[in-house]
Amino acid sequence: MEDFEKKVSITDPMDSEPETAAASASSSAAPAPAPQVLDLLRRFLAVQQRRAEAYARLKSGFAEYMVSGGEVAYQQLCGEITAEFNDCSKQVIEMESLFMAPDYGRVDLAQMLRAVQVQEKQKLHLTATIQLLKKASRPSERLVSHENCTFKKPMQHNCVHLHEITEAEGTEEVEADAEYDNALNEAIRGVQDAVTTINEHLEEVRYEIEALEGQ
């Protein structure tokens, strides 16, 4: 299977910095009216909802791919998800630039959006790692090819894979399984940590919205 991270990835849009430098947000400039800030924050939450829906599609599509092996459908889905993630990132970067501009003067909110962007990138990278590992499966459970085996009868063959397993080979297999399990669990924990951090920032955004609505 082609490298999953080449199929689904957030590329340069997430890595780029906002065009407006933080220093341009003059402390003497009047802050933007609450309705404008509210509009941007609500748009940001809408983008995060799109991201959540894209992840749900990706999870469902990968599960179906693991069962059916439908490579073409999976590649098409990955292309759609990539476009969705990149569009979301582009929109958030634009919002970040606006918050940093003198007309808004909300560097704090710009930094919060940037923090979410960083966590989203990490989440996607680790999601790709998890799916690659699941596709590969544990070393001891991987299927072997019988191309080099000799066949005496249609239903019988001399399998080249059958041999007495030595203690050293058994130890290597156990170690390989342990390494696989550790890598998978580490990636899963990383995704969970990223999700927790993202949700904390989203809660801060909701508090900000409530405060602005109360003005």
Q: What's phi and psi for 122, nearest 5 deg?
A: -65, -40
Residue 134 lies in a domain: yes
Distance CA 154, CA 132 (A): 35
CATH code at position 15:
1.20.1420
Residue 178 lies in a domain: no
Residue 170 lies in a domain: no
**The predicted structure's pLDDT at residue 144:** 53
Residue 154 lies in a domain: no
Distance CA 47, CA 93 (A): 11
Q: Which domain holds residue 20?
A: 4-143+190-213
Contact 99, 18 (CB under 8 A): no
Confidence of residue 13 (pLDDT cuts 50, 70, 90): low
Distance CA 40, CA 196 (A): 23
Contact 37, 109 (CB under 8 A): yes
Residue 112 lies in a domain: yes
Beta bridge partners of 158: 150
Residue 180 lies in a domain: no
Which residue from 116, 54, 41 is spatially nearest to 83, judged by alpha carbons? 54
Residue 91 lies in a domain: yes
Total domains in the chain come to: 1
Q: What pTM value is reported for the model?
A: 0.75
Q: Which residue has the higher pLDDT, 201 or 164?
A: 201
Its sign, for the CA torsion 195, 207, 114, 82, is positive
Q: Which residue has the higher pLDDT, 176 or 31?
A: 176
Contact 99, 40 (CB under 8 A): yes
Mean per-residue pLDDT of the chain: 81
pLDDT in tens, 111-145: 999 999 999 999 999 999 999 898 888 887 765 55
Q: Which residue has the higher pLDDT, 20 or 174?
A: 174
**The predicted structure's pLDDT at residue 177:** 86
**The predicted structure's pLDDT at residue 10:** 41
Distance CA 25, CA 168 (A): 64
Residue 203 lies in a domain: yes
**The predicted structure's pLDDT at residue 23:** 45
CA 172 to centroid of chain Cα atoms: 32
DSSP 23: G
In our burial notation (b when 16+ CB lie closer than 10 A, e otherwise), range 67-91 reads eeeeeeebeebbeebbebbbebbeb
């609450």: which residue's tokens? 34
